[in-house]
Amino acid sequence: MSLLSQDMPFAENPLDLVEEMVSANDWAHDRSSDLELMAEISGHWCDYHLCAVWQPEVSAMYLSCQLDGKVPANRRGPVYELLALANERMWLGHFEFALEEGLILFRHTVPLRGTRGMSVEQLEDLVDTAILECDRFYPALQLVVWGEKPVAEAIEAAMMDTVGEA
């Protein structure tokens, strides 16, 4: 669909900004090409594997944040249910289960067509949201996978929003 807009060329590759951010935070990272960057980020509960991919043909940047650990085959049913409940509560991005690898990841894609590039604030919000959601979800995942707790109990206990300080 076109709405009389002209495509503006990108001023820079948004992965350059991602690389500046991970370097500024002293996160271990590897930029294998102009299209992909991987980083290791310490979360509240575990380390996360961040992957940023620039797709210039669709002017979009994909970001995923993989949680550490694999889901055993016998716990996949409850994990699918948990993911559905977690995704219902999310405003940006979503969790998915990579069946072949048995891994859980948060992902979000930002369309950038018609812009001059990604702003620092957009990138900070994107990464902050990924880490926040992974930190919120991880305890629920542990309760279901290793504690064998009911999904409804795990999602309510681990993903409730707290107010104030103790």
Residue range(s) defining the domain that contains residue 119: 14-71+93-135
State the Cα–Cα distance between residues 152 and 155, nearest whole angstrom: 5
| Residue 81 in tokens | 């249910």
pLDDT at 7 over 70: no
pLDDT, position 83: 95
Give the mean pLDDT of the chain: 88
In a domain, 112, yes or no: yes
pLDDT, position 125: 94
pLDDT, position 28: 97
pLDDT, position 1: 44
- Count CB-CB contacts under 10 A for residue 150: 13
pLDDT (average), residues 137-152: 92
C-alpha distances out from residue 149 to 46, 73, 74, 84, Å: 20, 16, 14, 16
Amino acid at 74: N
What is residue 20's DSSP assignment?
A: H
Residue 19: give its domain's CATH number: 3.30.1460.10
In a domain, 77, yes or no: no
Say what percent of the chain tops pLDDT 70.
89
Model confidence at 11, in pLDDT bands (50, 70, 90)?
low
In a domain, 120, yes or no: yes
pLDDT, position 164: 52
In a domain, 162, yes or no: no
| Residue 95 in tokens | 């969790």
pLDDT at 5 over 50: no
Q: Which helix (H) or strand (E) covers residue 32, if one does? A: strand 29-33
Model confidence at 3, in pLDDT bands (50, 70, 90)?
very low
Which residue in 77, 86, 79 sits closest to 159, CA to CA?
Answer: 86
In a domain, 4, yes or no: no
In a domain, 166, yes or no: no
| Residue 21 in tokens | 């951010």
pLDDT (average), residues 86-110: 92
Domain count, the chain: 1
In a domain, 80, yes or no: no
In a domain, 2, yes or no: no
State the Cα–Cα distance between residues 107 and 62, nearest whole angstrom: 7
